[in-house]
Structures are given as C-alpha cells and as structure tokens.
Amino acid sequence: MGLDIGSVRIGVASSDPDGILATPLSVVRRTDEPAALRTLREIIDEYEPIELLIGDPKSLDGAARAAAATALEFARRISVATSTPIRLVDERFTTVEAHHALAAAGKNSRQRREIVDAQAAVIILQNALEFEHNTGEPAGRAMPDEESQQ
C-alpha cells in the first residue's frame, strides 16, 4: 500500500496481490489527525498490506524538506496505530507527475485538487513496485527510529 502524506490530505493507493499494478484507493483528510489515523487504520485493516510505502519528502538535492519531519512523525503514528512495517520512498516530482496525468485524463484543476494525493500515492507505490521487480531489492529505506530521524 502506498501513502502520500500531505499537510492537508493523505493519498492512499493499493496494488493487486501480485504487486504489479497500483491503483488509487482514497484521499483521507488530515485536518482532524485522530480521525485520519482511525480512517487509515480501517483501510489498512481491510486491505492487510505487507508493508506501507510512504513518500519521503526531499528537496531536489536530496536534503530533507521542512515537511519531512512532519510527514515522518505522522508516519510513526501510523506505524504505532497499525503495526505495519513502513518503508520511505523518494517522492520527488510525484505530485507534479500526478497533476500532469490527471490533466491528460481531462480533469480540471478543481477535480485534480481533490484526487491528486491519491494519484501521487499511486505513483509512489508503482515506482516502488517496479524498482523491486527490476532489482529484487526493496524500494526506499526502512523508516528510521526516532533517535536517527534522517
């Protein structure tokens, strides 16, 4: 399962059982974080993913952006709430790529705003699935413990 954690919304995507194709599932509003965690826990309980592949917000030079600490903290809360292993996957350009794909599909800017996070989660997950299929290695990196916070 892929997640794109934004400051307002969290995009959620899943893959088929063979891990070949990622599809959008939903967008969870983050304005009420306890409610967002409950909703994510319900989705994760229903789909029972092997792991969560969460977008790792980095700048173009690979340094952590300001949003990275907030996203990482929320990812930790998801980990505690679900006991599901988490890997952090580079998410650079995924939102831009998602906007382009949705525009190409004929979605106007208002329609894109509501679903772009789910599409970004699809891109995060699909890229990770393809990396693993091509290399035999897991994509991204294991979520660091609180002490290392990188």
Does 94 fall in a domain?
A: yes
Does 16 fall in a domain?
A: yes
What's residue 72's pLDDT? 85
E strands in 2-112:
2-5, 9-15, 22-29, 52-56, 86-90
Please give the model's pTM, rounded to 2 decimal places.
Answer: 0.83
Does 150 fall in a domain?
A: no
Domain that holds residue 11: 2-145
Could you give the number of structural domains in the chain? 1
Retrieve residue 144's tokens: 């660091």
CA 99 to chain CA mean position, Å: 16
Does 124 fall in a domain?
A: yes
Cβ distance 98 to 22 under 8 Å? no
Q: The CATH number of the domain where 134 resides is what?
A: 3.30.420.140
Does 105 fall in a domain?
A: yes
pLDDT in tens, 52-98: 999 887 655 555 566 677 888 888 999 999 889 999 988 765 665 66
> Which of 140, 127, 131, 112 lies closest to 27 in space, CA to CA?
112
Does 93 fall in a domain?
A: yes
Considering just the CA atoms, what is the radius of gyration of the chain in Å?
Answer: 14
